[in-house]
Amino acid sequence: MKRRKNYLIFITPAFILYTVFVVFPVIYVIYLSFTDWSGLGAVHFVGLKNFGTIFTDPRFAPEFRNAIKNNLKYLLCVWFVITPFQYFVAYMFFIKIPAYKYIKFMVFFPYVISSTIVSFFAMLVFDPNIGFLNHILGSLGMSKGAWFGDSHWAFKLLVLIIIWQSSGSGIMIFYSNFISTSKEVMDASRVDGCNEWQRFRYIMFPMSLPSCASIISMSTIWALAIFDYPFILGGAKGGISGKLDFANIVFYRYTFGSALNARSDLGFGASICVVMFIVMFVITYVQSRILRRFEYDT
Amino acid sequence: MKSKQQDIGGREVYSSRVKVLRALISAILILYTCITIFVIVTTLLDSFKGKGDLISNFIGFPKAVVLDNYKNVIRNDRFLLYFFNSFILTFCGTAGCILLSAMAAYGIARYDFKGKNLLTSYFLIGMMVPIQVSVLPLFLILRKIGLLNHRLGMILVYISGISMSCLVFQKYFSTIPRSLEESARIDGCSDSKIFWMIILPIAKPVLFTMALITAVQQWNDFYMPMVLLGNKNVTTLTLAIYRYLGQFAKYMGQSMAAVIITLIPIIVIYFLFSSQIVEGLTGGAVKE
Decide if B107 and A7 are in contact by the 8 Å CB cutoff: yes
Looking at CA atoms only, how far is residue B190 from chain A in angstroms? Answer: 9
From chain A, the residues in CB contact with B106 under 8 A are 10
Of B165, B169, B160, B170, give the one whose Cα is nearest residue B116. Answer: B170
Angle at A288 between CA A283 and CA A289, to 5 degrees: 100
pLDDT score at A262: 53
Mean pLDDT value across residues B250-274 = 90
Q: Does A285 touch chain B (CB under 8 A)?
A: no
Pick A21's closest partner by Cβ from B101, B156, B244: B156
ipTM for this model: 0.87
pTM: 0.88
Phi, psi of B176 (to 5 degrees): -75, 130
Distance CA A57, CA A255 (A): 17
From chain B, the residues in CB contact with A85 under 8 A are none
Q: Does B133 touch chain A (CB under 8 A)?
A: yes
Q: Does B89 touch chain A (CB under 8 A)?
A: no
Contact, B211 vs B94, CB < 8 A? yes
Looking at CA atoms only, how far is residue B153 from chain A in angstroms? Answer: 10
pLDDT score at A37: 84
A127 alpha-carbon distance from chain centroid: 24
Distance CA B184, CA B75 (A): 55
Q: Does B207 touch chain A (CB under 8 A)?
A: no
Residue of B nearest to A249 (CA): B132
Q: Does A176 touch chain B (CB under 8 A)?
A: yes
Of A280, A134, A144, give the one whose Cα is nearest residue A217. Answer: A280
Distance CA A46, CA A58 (A): 20
Local confidence band at B91 (pLDDT 50, 70, 90 cut-offs): very high
pLDDT tens, position by position, B63-90: 888 888 898 888 877 888 999 999 999 9
Does A3 have pLDDT greater than 80? no
pLDDT tens, position by position, B173-203: 988 888 888 888 888 888 888 999 989 999 9
B5-28 burial string, b = 16+ CB within 10 Å, else e?
A: eeeeeeeeeeeeebeeebeebbee
Local confidence band at B288 (pLDDT 50, 70, 90 cut-offs): very low
Decide if B137 and A29 are in contact by the 8 Å CB cutoff: yes
Local confidence band at B7 (pLDDT 50, 70, 90 cut-offs): very low
Distance CA B50, CA B253 (A): 7
Q: Does B36 touch chain A (CB under 8 A)?
A: yes
pLDDT score at A25: 94
Q: Which residue has the higher pLDDT, B28 or A211?
A: B28
From chain B, the residues in CB contact with A3 under 8 A are 191
Does B234 have pLDDT greater than 50? yes
Contact, A271 vs A33, CB < 8 A? yes
pLDDT tens, position by position, A8-43: 889 999 999 999 999 999 999 999 999 988 777 778
pLDDT tens, position by position, A143-185: 778 888 888 889 999 999 999 998 998 899 899 888 887 777 7
In a mutagenesis test of the B interface, which of A6, A75, A117, A208 is the best target, namely the one with the most B β-carbons within 10 Å? A117
pLDDT score at A81: 94
pLDDT score at A68: 92
Mean pLDDT value across residues B48-52 = 83
